[in-house]
Amino acid sequence: MTDRVFSVADIPKGKRWLILSHAFNMDGRAASQTITDKIPYLLSAGIQPIVFSAITGSGDQRFVHKQFLPWGPSGFRFDFRHWVANRHGRNFIYKLTTRFVSILLSPFILLERLILGYSSQWSWVMPAFFHGLSLIRQGKVDVVYSTGGAWSAHLAGLWLKWFTGIFWVAEIHDPLVIRSNPDDNGEKIPKNRDARFRKYLERKICEDADLVWWFTNGALSYAKKRNPSLNTSQGALGISMIPGANPPNGIQADGQYAPGEYLNLCHFGSLAADRSLSQIMVHLSELFSKYPQARDYLRIHAYGAPLDPLTKKLQDDLKLRDVLIAHGRLEKDLKTGLSGREQVSIKMQQADVLVLLHGTDEWCAEYIPSKFYEYLWIKRPIWAITHRNEQLDKMLTDRACYLSHSESPMSIQATLEQIWQDWQSKNMITPRYEPISVEDGVRDILNAVYKGGCG
């Protein structure tokens, strides 16, 4: 090893990296944006990428980009649906073809689940591995970089490491091992077969990869507790690296804000039982009781996913269909040509407050929503409801954001009231403009790779 630190200017030219990313160029997916945002900086550093991905995203013409169908029936169905939607939208052709394929594959999917019980994208490992093995044996690859997203990319990286000894780096987005409570280190063997395999895969990554990074200090800390070989001579070098984000589609928000007729609280991204707008909605009755006029002017907009069941129930029970407006997923508009991500960035800039729901599960201690990094570019007030994550809380506080905690309903109620009062008085918090650059993250990656003995 060497202690030399490389700058972008002196990264060795001609380095050939095989990037394994199931979701590469998949519109609106965090697993895609995390890697695709890095590509321009890798290219400028002299890295020559070869990308293997699924067919769910668009092809990239700047370098070799090969797209493969998974070999298993459930993965094939998942990827085929997105492929058809990308080309035809979710119209009659989509409904007809995807329904036919689902019926055709249903007995094989059932058999796959009974025998293996893994998540649908597992079988993408096979084409990624065999094509990668061929390239490595031809001497066309120097580094394998698995990123996900789908854990099949990491399994392909592991197999390529075993068969060739290639320098392998793994980028872990969400924790592979999900803990159940603060006292749980994740050492217990899970009952679920997919969870059991993810635990095994995490151990092999920590033992056999050359370099592995997680996106939070908490995730790295818990991985180290489960895998003592990490950061020793017997295992991988493990680090924590904040991914950041580019301005959405290059759009530079001007930061100019003037309140409109409504106070628009906008949430972007997926919703579920553990990440639900019900955390806010249960407090609306009290706000409307104290400030009756708020009922006419406060609006909550949900973009990116259907409402979760609890939110939908509250929407009906509290008669708030005019207050909570669900817009669903924004996908490529075939009429305007705008991608889902471009439409999202436009809607973000129209928000009065960007809502960041962290979640309520224990694994939130190891996770930062990727939307947070995008929000920082928009120059709008952010209201985050976080769960046991000191690193995220500090980042929010340093940037002057509205902050509540899921463990404290009183803090959510108080913040909702503060936002209403600030909007009425035209005195919304002005966030500090401190976005986190993807370029800085790439520089950290390159330094770690070359300091770690590659090249």
How does 196-224 read in b/e, with b if 16+ C-beta sit within 10 Å? ebbbebbbbbbebbbbbbbbbebbbebbb
pLDDT number for residue 452: 64
- Give pLDDT, residue 453: 63
Backbone angles phi, psi at 95, to 5 degrees: -65, -40
Q: Is residue 143 part of a domain?
A: yes
Q: For residues 226 and 331, state if they share a domain.
A: no
| Within a domain: 63 | yes
CA 414 from chain center: how many Å?
29
178 and 253 in a single domain? The answer is no
Same domain, 348 and 253: yes
Q: Which residue has the tokens 């030399």?
A: 4
Report the predicted TM-score, pTM, of the whole model to 2 decimal places: 0.84
- Sort residue 139 into left (φ over 0), alpha (ψ -120 to 50) or beta: left
Tell me if 130 is assigned to some domain.
yes
Q: Which domain holds residue 284?
A: 248-424
Residue type, 356: L
**Alpha-carbon distance 267 to 264, whole Å?**
10
Amino acid at 181: N
Task: Output the CA torsion sign for 325, 286, 311, 315.
Answer: negative
* Tens-level pLDDT at each residue, the chain (455 residues): 333 343 444 445 458 999 999 999 887 688 888 999 999 999 999 999 999 999 888 899 999 999 999 998 888 887 878 777 777 677 777 778 878 877 887 888 788 888 887 888 899 999 999 999 999 999 999 999 999 889 999 999 999 999 999 999 999 998 999 998 988 999 999 889 999 999 999 999 999 999 999 999 999 999 999 999 999 999 999 999 998 888 766 555 665 667 789 999 999 988 999 999 999 999 999 999 999 999 999 999 999 889 999 999 999 999 999 999 999 887 777 777 787 777 888 889 889 999 999 999 998 999 999 889 989 988 899 999 999 999 999 999 999 999 999 999 999 999 999 999 999 999 998 888 788 889 988 998 998 888 766 65
Structure tokens at 163: 């068969």
In a domain, 234, yes or no: yes
Helices vs strands, H then E, count in the chain: 17, 13
Q: How many domains does the chain have?
A: 2
Environment class of 241 (CB within 10 Å of its CB; exposed 0-12, middle 13-18, buried 19+) = middle
